[in-house]
């Protein structure tokens, strides 16, 4: 039984999905799948393997809600900086900045090379400190700059939410505005020390009993094990986001790009024919 790691898996799932119900479903499905796939578990990296299964389930749950690993959503100006990040940024921080996994194990859970995983974590940490600095600007009292006031009044007109585009615009402004820089710059460098990623959270009793009930159902257990899909040579799931970068999908994109170029060429020829008469 692997439910003693449910606290670590739930902490991860909550960070990636930012939704308690979605996170609980992902942990449930991942732990049931781990039972079905137990004979393929690599014992030396057990937490990493369970996190990889949980990651697959989190991405599946998010995709069902048309949220992808690089989706940034509009959030309230006062939202936690973690909510500003994409699921992919939070994923990299959770897996690469935790003390109970090595960098290699974190990278394997993400299904990529260690160098790429470390890069993703560095970029995510930069995005986090910038989000924290923008939050400091947006919540400064008294307000530091009329541009910030303008952004806040635009947000209050659109259901109190700030779009990712408006946030990026403010961030670019803050880097060059003398008034904003006094708040933005110190916060951006201090934020590095404030980054605190929980590696475990208390698991609700009803989630544990739900897992126990499902384990008593061999058909459901086998179904959730199969649904994880293909496993690599080490028994880790092939990450759903890696499929996007699969060379065969590049070929498909290449074919689309070629078709678009052909269409543009045709438009050009027609335009040339019309103008040269």
Stretch that binds Zn ion, among 11-19, 36-44, 139-147, 218-226 (CB under 5 A): 139-147
Residue 148: both structure tokens together: 């910030």
Subset of 60-119 contacting Zn ion (CB under 5 A):
none
One-character DSSP codes across 100-149: TS-HHHHHHHHTS-HHHHHHHHHHHHHHHHHHHHHHHHHT-SS---HHHH
Report if residue 177 touches Zn ion, rule: CB under 5 A: yes
The nearest distance, CB 148 to Zn ion, in angstroms, is 6
Closest to Zn ion by CB, 33 or 148: 148
Residues 226-265 that bind Zn ion (CB under 5 A): none
Smallest distance from Zn ion to CB 162, Å:
16
Cβ neighbours of residue 28 closer than 8 Å, sequence gap 6 or more:
207, 210, 211, 214
Cite the DSSP H helix spans in the chain. 6-17, 20-36, 46-64, 81-84, 87-96, 103-110, 114-138, 146-157, 164-176, 178-194, 205-215, 218-227, 240-243, 247-275
Q: Which is nearer to Zn ion, 58 or 180 (CB)?
A: 180
Among the listed ranges 11-19, 125-133, 155-163, 177-185, the one in contact with Zn ion (CB under 5 A) is: 177-185
Q: Which stretch binds Zn ion (CB under 5 A): 7-15, 49-57, 144-152, 225-233?
A: 144-152
Say how far apart CA 212 and CA 24 lie, in whole Å.
Answer: 14
Are the CB atoms for 37 and 235 separated by under 8 Å? yes
Which of 147/197 has CB closer to Zn ion? 147
| CB of 126 or CB of 179, closer to Zn ion | 179
Smallest distance from Zn ion to CB 142, Å:
13
**Least gap, CB of 131 to Zn ion (angstroms):** 17
Give the C-alpha separation, 118 to 270, whole Å.
Answer: 50
Distance of closest approach, residue 184 Cβ to Zn ion, in angstroms:
8
CA distance 93 to 110: 11
Per-residue burial over 132-152, b = 16 or more CB atoms within 10 Å of its CB, e = otherwise? bbbbbbbebeeebbebbeebb
Number of residues that bind Zn ion (CB under 5 A): 5
Contact with Zn ion (CB under 5 A) among 36, 145, 155, 187: 145
The verdict on 147 binding Zn ion (CB under 5 A) reads: yes
Nearer of residues 172 and 245 to Zn ion, judged by Cβ: 172
Q: Identify whether the C-beta of residue 55 lies closer than 8 Å to the C-beta of residue 239.
A: yes
Query: 98 or 167, CB closer to Zn ion?
Result: 167
Question: Per CB under 5 A, which of residues 178..217 are in contact with Zn ion?
Answer: 179-180
Question: Residue 189: how many CB atoms within 10 A of its CB?
Answer: 10
CA torsion through residues 256, 60, 22, 197, sign: negative
CB of 24 to Zn ion, least distance (A): 42
Find the shortest distance in angstroms from Cβ 261 to Zn ion: 43
Beta carbon of residue 177, minimum distance to Zn ion (angstroms, whole number): 3
Residues that bind Zn ion (CB under 5 A): 145, 147, 177, 179-180
């Amino acid at each position: 039984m692997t439910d003693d790691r449910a606290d670590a898996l739930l902490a991860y799932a909550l960070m990636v999905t930012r939704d308690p119900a979605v996170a609980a479903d992902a942990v449930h499905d991942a732990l049931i799948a781990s039972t079905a796939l137990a004979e393929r578990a690599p014992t030396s990296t057990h937490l990493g393997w369970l996190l990889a299964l949980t990651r697959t389930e989190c991405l599946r749950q998010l995709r069902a809600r048309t949220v992808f690993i690089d989706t940034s959503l509009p959030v309230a100006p006062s939202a936690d900086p973690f909510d500003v990040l994409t699921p992919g940024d939070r994923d990299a921080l959770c897996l690469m900045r935790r003390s109970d996994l090595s960098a290699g194990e974190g990278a394997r859970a993400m299904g990529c090379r260690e160098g790429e995983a470390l890069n993703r974590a560095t970029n995510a940490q930069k995005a986090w400190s910038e989000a924290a600095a923008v939050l400091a600007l947006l919540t400064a009292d008294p307000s530091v700059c009329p541009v910030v006031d303008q952004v806040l009044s635009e947000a209050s007109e659109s259901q109190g939410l700030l779009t990712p585009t408006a946030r990026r615009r403010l961030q670019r402004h803050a880097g060059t505005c003398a008034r904003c820089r006094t708040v933005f710059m110190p916060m951006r460098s201090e934020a590095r020390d404030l980054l605190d990623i929980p590696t475990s959270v208390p698991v609700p009793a009803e989630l544990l009993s739900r897992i126990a009930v499902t384990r008593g159902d061999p058909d459901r257990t086998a179904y959730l094990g199969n649904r994880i899909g293909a496993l690599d040579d080490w028994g880790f799931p092939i990450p759903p986001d890696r499929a996007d970068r699969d060379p065969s999908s590049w070929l498909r994109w290449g074919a689309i790009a070629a078709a678009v170029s052909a269409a543009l060429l045709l438009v050009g020829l027609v335009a040339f024919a019309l103008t040269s008469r």
